[in-house]
A and B are shown apart, each in its own frame.
Chain A
Amino acid sequence: MSSSIMPTNQKQPVIRCTSVFKIFGDNAKAMLAGVQDNVDAKAFQDAGCIVGVNNASFEVFEGEMLVVMGLSGSGKSTLLRCISRLTDATAGKIYIDGQDLLAMNNKQLIELRRNKMGMVFQSFALLPHKTVLENIAFPLQVKGVSTQDSIKKAMDMVELVGLMGRENYFPRQLSGGQQQRVGIARSLAIEPDIWFLDEPFSALDPLIRKEMQDEFLRLQGVLNKTILFVTHDFDEALRLADRIAIMKDGVIEQLDTPANIVLNPATEYVHKFTEEVPREKVLRIESVMDPVNDSEALSDLKVSKDAIIETVAEAVLSEQNPVGVTDTNNDIVGVLHPSKVINVLFGGRANHPNH
C-alpha cells in the first residue's frame, strides 16, 4: 500500500458513507427493512424496484480524490447524487464533515451547498441566458454576495480556468471544452471544500479530454480539494485517482489505489478492466523496488519512489548498475533493478486474481 498518498486514519473523513442504499420504486423502504448486507437485485426487480446503489460504505479524506468508475447503469452517478443529496438515499448514513447529511432540513442543505459543495456536470448545465462571467458569479449571487464582489471573484475564476477575453461570451458561443471550463469555474466560485464531478469530460472529444484532464490535475495541484469524481473511463480513473471505487450493478466491487487494483484485481469483473492496462503506466517505482542492499553498487541516477515506471524506464534501463530509490526527504529507501522494469514492460499480464 502506498502509504504516502493514503491519509492517516486519525483524521476525520470529509465524506463518510455507511451502508448507503438507493432503491427506486414505491415500496422500496418496506422491502429494505431489516436488511443488513447487500440486497438481491433480482428479487427487488421482481417486486418492481430498481436497485441503484447497493450497500455502499466508504470514506473520503481531506485532499483526497476518489474516482468512482463503472459502466452505464452501474449506479455511479446515483451514488454521487445521493452524496450531494440531489436525490435522497433510501437507507444508510452519509456524513459530511461529521454532520448527518440525511437529517438536514432544506435550509441547512442549501447552506451546505452554498458554502461547501461544488459540482460539475457531464452536459455542462450552464444557464443559456447568462454570460460566462454571470454563470460563474451565479452561485455567489444566489448566496447574496453583492454584484460587484461576485463579478470580481468570477473574474479571478475566469483567469484560473484560462478563459480570459471570453468572459462576456454566452455559452452558445463556446466550444464544449470551453463550456466545461466555465462549469468548473462555476463549481469553484464559492471555494467549496468538496468537489463533485459527474463525468465532466465524457462529452468531449478525446484530444480535448486529455487536455482537460491535464488542466484538472494542474488545478487540483493548486487547490487540493476533496474530490468525488465519477467516470466510465477506466484510463481516466487510473490517470487521476488517488483511490478508485469500481462499481457494478450498484455494488462497489473494489475500492483501492490504482496500483493495487491493477496488481490485485479483487473480482473477475475488475480483472476484465485491468488486463489490458499497460502496467508501466500505472505502477509506481515503489511497487517494484527491492530493499536496500549495502553490498550493491548503485549508479548515480536516483528516482523518486512515487514516480510512474513509464516516466523513468528509459533512464533506468540505460544505467549499468541498479538505481537508488528516494523518498520525499531524498533518503534512499530502496533499490530498483533494471530486470524488474523489463519484467513490468515486457513480462506479460499474468496477474490473474486466482493465480
Chain B
Amino acid sequence: MLNSFKHSRPIQFGLLILIFLFSYFLVPHSENSYFWRLPPLLKELPLWISTLLDNLMFKWFTVDVWDPVWKDYEEKTIFRIITRAIASSVLFIIIFIREIFLGGAQTLGTLFSDTWIDANKWLSWPALPWTAVVAGASILGYQLQGIRLALLAGTGFAYLSVFGQWEPSMQTLSFVLVSAPVCFVLGLSFGIWGYLNKRVEGALQPILNTMQTLPHFSYLVPIMVLFGVGDHAGAIATIIFATPPMIRLTILGLRKVSPDIVDSGLMSGCNKFQLLFKVLIPTARRDILIGVNQVIMQCLAMTTIAAFIGAKGLGFNLKVALNSLEIGKAAEIGLCVVLIAVILDKYSLAWANKQKDYFANLNFFQKNKPYITFTLLTLLGVILSYLGALYFEDSINYLYYIPFNKGFTISPFLDAGIDWIWEAFFVYLNAFNVWLITSVLVPMKDAYLGMPVISTFIIVMGAGYIIGGIRSAVIVGSLILFIALSEYWDRALITAYMATFAVLISAILGIVVGSICAQSNFASKTILSICDFFQTFPSFIYLIPVILLFGITDTSVMIAAIVYAVIPATRYTVEGLNSVPLSLHEAGTMSGVSRLQRWTNIELPLALPHIMLGINQTVIFALFMVILGALIGTIDLGQIIMGALSKKGGAGIGLTLGIFVSFMCLAVDNLIQTWANERKRLLGID
C-alpha cells in the first residue's frame, strides 16, 4: 500500500486535493486568522521602490551643472544626467528617422538656432514621397525572397498610404527601426557574454525570465520617472521588453554550433576574436536572425502600450479609438498594425532563411542593381510628386504625401456592419454574455476569493513537492509567499481566476484541435501556418473584435485571452504529435492499433512533455492578456497597474505588481518545466 503510494502520482495528487478541500472548508473566514489571509508585511515595498527612484533622480550624487538659459549653476544628480542623456539621444535618432519618412525640421534645429529655422522656412527635410517608400519596400522584399514578398510589401505599404494612415504608420515604423537595432546589439552582446561565461549565463537566466514575464504595463511608470514622457520612453520600454528573446536565441545559437567547427577554427589558428566573429557568429547566423524576428515582433506588440507613456503612432491612435469606442476606426488602425507586423515578420524570416550566394564575378551594375533601381524609382517618385503638385495645385497632393485621415476609409462600412451585427445578434450575444458571467465566472471568482491562504500554499507547494521534490516546493512556495505578504492578495486571486479559466479552455481547445489536425500532414501544415499568422498579431489587436461583440465586460477579456492563448497550445500539440518517430507509428500499425488507441497509447504519452511546454506558454499568454484586459476595464492586478500610471509614487506600485504577475508565471513555469524535463529524460527524448 505504502509502496504503491510512493510510485503512483495520481494517488499522490488525489491525496493532495483531499487535503486541499479539507483546509478549504475547515479554515474559518476570519480576518484575524493567519490561515485565512497573511498580514501585509510587504505593504511598504512599493513605497521603498518609489523612494529609491526619487532619491536617485533628485537627491543622491549631485553635481553642479551650468544652465545656459538661466545663466546659473543648477544642482542635478548624476543619475538624472545620465538617464536624460540617454533619453535625448534616443529621441534624436527616432526623430531623425521619422523625418526621413515624413519630413520636418526638428533635427536640423539642433544644428542651427531656432530663430534661424523660423526665418528660413525652406530649411527642412522634404518627406520621402510615399511612392518611393512603397518602391523601396517592394525591392527589399524581392531581394530577400522574391516576387511574392515584393507584391505583399508593396501593396501593404500602398494600403497604409492610400487609406490615410501614412503618418502614424511611419511613426510606428521609425519607432521599430530605432528599437530593433538597439535590441539586436544589446541582445547579441549579452548573448555572447553569456556564451563565453557560464557564470554570467547563470545570472542572466532568472533576470531574463522575470523580464519576459513582467507585464508590459508594470515598468512603464519607472521608465516614465527615469526618462520622462515621449517617444524615447516608449522606445526604451520596448527595448527592455524585446531584448531578452534576442539574448536567449544568441546563446542558444552559439551553443548549437558543432564543437568540430569550433575545433576547426582553433586549428586554423584563430585567436578568440577571430573565432567569435569569423567562425561562431556566422555559423549561428540563422538562430541569431530568428532572434531579430522575435525582436521586431515584440517591438510591434509594444506600440500600443508604449502609447501610454507618449509614443506616437498607430498604437496611440488605436488607444484613442478604443477609449472612445470607435470600433470601426480601431479595426482600421488594427489592420495597419497587422499589415506592418506581417510584412516585417516575413522580411526578417526571409532574411534568416536566405543563404549567402556567390557574387564575385558580377560587374558594378549587377552587384548594385537593387540600389540603382531604388534610386531611379525614388527619382521617379519625386518627379511624380512634382507633377502632382501642379495637378492638385492647392488641394492635397496625393502623389506626395497623404495626410492623416484624408485617404479612403472603410470605417463607415465597418461601423455599419457592426451595427448590423449588434442588431441581429445582440439578444444571443447578450444572453451568452449574461449566462457566462452569472453562472460560470462569478461563482468561480467567488470560489477563488473564498480560498484560505493556507489552502493555496497546500495545493501549490504540494504539487511542487510531488513533481520536483523539496526544492521545487520551496521555490514555488517562496514565489507565492511574496505575493501573499502584500496588500494585493485578493486582486492576485482575481487575476489567477481569470487566467485559470482562460488556460483551461485554451488548453482543451488547443489539444483537441491540435490532435485532430496532427492526423494529416496537410491539416498540420495548414494549422501551423494559421498559428504563425495569428502569432504575428500584436496582442492588443485581439481586444478589438471582442469588445465589438461583448462590450466592456469580463467576457471580452476572457475570450480575447482564450483566442490568444489557444495559439501556443495548438502549435505545441501539433509539433509534439508530429515529432513522434515514424518507426513507432509503423510499429503501432503492425501491432494492429486503431487510430484512437494510437493516439492514447503512442502519440500522446510521447508528445505530452512538449505539449506541456505549450501549456506553459499558454499560461504566460493568458496572464498577459488578462493584465492587458485592464485596457478595457477589469478589476484585477492589471487595473491597479494601469492606475499606477497616473498616480504619484506609481512607479513602486506598478513594478511591485508586475513582479507579482511575473512570479505567478515563474511558479507555473517551474512546475511545468521540472515535470517536462524529468519526463523527457525518462522517455529518452530531447
What is the interface of chain A, defined by CB distance below 8 A to chain B? Answer: 81, 84, 86, 106, 110-111, 113-115, 117-119, 121-131, 138-139, 142-143, 168-170, 172, 183, 186-187, 190, 196
Contact = CB atoms under 8 A, between A and B. Distances in A.
B282 interface: yes
Contacts of A119: 263-264, 267
A138 B279 CA distance: 10
Contact of A123 (B260, B270, B274): B260
B10 interface: no
Given A127-B279, A142-B274, A168-B358, A121 B260 contact: yes
A124 B278 CA distance: 17
B268 A113 contact: yes
Nearest to B279: A127
B358 A86 contact: no
A139 B360 contact: no
B359 to A, nearest CB: 10
Nearest to A167: B358
A142 to B, nearest CB: 5
A139 B268 contact: yes
A113 B267 contact: yes
A170 B355 contact: yes
Contact of A110 (B260, B261, B264, B271): B271
Contacts of B270: 110, 142
* Residue of B258, B264, B356, B358 contacting most chain A CB atoms (<10 Å): B264
B283 interface: yes
Given A127-B261, A170-B355, A170-B356, A142 B266 contact: no
Contacts of B266: 86, 113
B285 interface: yes
Interface string B352-364: 0001101010000
Q: Shortest 8 CB-CB distances between A and B: which pairs? A: A114-B269, A125-B264, A139-B268, A125-B260, A119-B267, A113-B269, A129-B282, A123-B260
Contact of B263 (A86, A128, A138, A168): A86
Given A125-B263, A170-B358, 10 more contacts: A113-B268, A123-B260, A127-B261, A128-B282, A129-B356, A138-B268, A138-B278, A139-B269, A142-B278, A183-B264
Nearest to B263: A86
B258 A142 contact: no
Nearest to B281: A129
A126 B283 CA distance: 10
A32 to B, nearest CB: 25
Contact of A129 (B264, B274, B285): B285
A130 to B, nearest CB: 8
Contacts of A170: 355-356, 358
Contacts of A122: 260
Given A168-B358, A172-B355, A186 B283 contact: no
Contacts of A186: 264, 268
Nearest to A121: B260
B264 A121 contact: yes
Contact of A125 (B261, B271, B274, B358): B261
A122 B268 CA distance: 16
Contacts of B355: 170, 172
B269 A127 contact: no
Contacts of A81: 263
Contacts of A131: 358
Contacts of B282: 127-130
Contacts of A172: 355
Contacts of B285: 129
Nearest to B357: A170
27 contacts: A113-B266, A113-B268, A119-B263, A121-B260, A121-B263, A123-B258, A123-B260, A124-B260, A125-B258, A125-B260, A125-B261, A125-B263, A127-B261, A127-B264, A127-B278, A128-B283, A129-B282, A129-B356, A131-B358, A142-B270, A169-B358, A170-B355, A170-B356, A172-B355, A186-B264, A190-B269, A196-B267
Interface string B330-369: 0000000000000000000000000110101000000000
A110 B271 CA distance: 7
Contacts of A115: 269
Contacts of A123: 258, 260
Contacts of A114: 268-269
Given A123-B258, A125-B260, A129-B285, A142 B268 contact: yes
A115 B268 CA distance: 9
Contacts of A118: 267
Nearest to B260: A125
Nearest to A189: B268
Contacts of B358: 131, 168-170
B163 to A, nearest CB: 41
B181 to A, nearest CB: 21
Contacts of B271: 106, 110
A220 B271 CA distance: 29
Interface in B352-397: 355-356, 358, 360
A131 B271 CA distance: 22
A217 B274 CA distance: 33
A123 B283 CA distance: 15
B267 A127 contact: no
Contacts of B258: 123, 125
Contacts of A129: 282-283, 285, 356
A169 B356 CA distance: 11
Contacts of B278: 127, 138, 142
A186 B260 CA distance: 14
A106 B269 CA distance: 11
A118 B285 CA distance: 26
B266 to A, nearest CB: 6
A117 B268 CA distance: 8
Contacts of B360: 168
Interface in B245-289: 258, 260-261, 263-264, 266-271, 274, 278-279, 282-283, 285
Contacts of A84: 267
A339 B264 CA distance: 51
Given A121-B263, A121-B264, A143 B279 contact: no
Contacts of B283: 127-129
Interface in B285-341: 285
A84 to B, nearest CB: 6
B620 to A, nearest CB: 34
Contacts of A168: 358, 360
A119 B263 CA distance: 9
Nearest to B264: A125
A139 B270 CA distance: 8
A284 to B, nearest CB: 34
A170 B267 CA distance: 21
A150 to B, nearest CB: 12
A168 B358 CA distance: 7
A130 B267 CA distance: 17
Nearest to B261: A125
B270 to A, nearest CB: 5
A59 B468 CA distance: 53
Contacts of B268: 113-114, 138-139, 142, 186
Contacts of B267: 84, 86, 113, 117-119, 187, 196
A201 to B, nearest CB: 15
A138 B260 CA distance: 16
A279 to B, nearest CB: 36
Contacts of B279: 127
A143 B269 contact: yes
A84 B265 CA distance: 13
Contacts of A128: 282-283
Nearest to A86: B263
A42 B138 CA distance: 67
Nearest to B267: A119
A170 B279 CA distance: 15
A112 to B, nearest CB: 8
A183 B356 CA distance: 20
